[in-house]
Amino acid sequence: MESVTQLAEKAVNLQPVERLRLVEAILFSLDRPDVKIEESWVAEAEARYEAYKRGEIEAVDWDEIKKRYGR
């Protein structure tokens, strides 16, 4: 297997379009969502929305959140 340095040397010699395709392929391989985490987020969001509809929790205005956390 080639080292990262060897691969980088080969990559810089590619045509610009091919380098972009390589970068996209590498970034895509790193950006795969974890299905279990996604499912957990969906379940949490649904539970919070149901609690909101039942009056168990209140919504907070975005401007209030920005003030509270200094953003």
- Provide φ and ψ at 4, rounded to 5°: -60, -40
Altogether, the residues listed in the chain come to a count of: 71
The proportion of the chain whose per-residue pLDDT surpasses 70, expressed as a percent, equals 99
The pLDDT score that the predictor gives to residue 71 is 66
Regions of the chain short of the pLDDT cut 70: 71
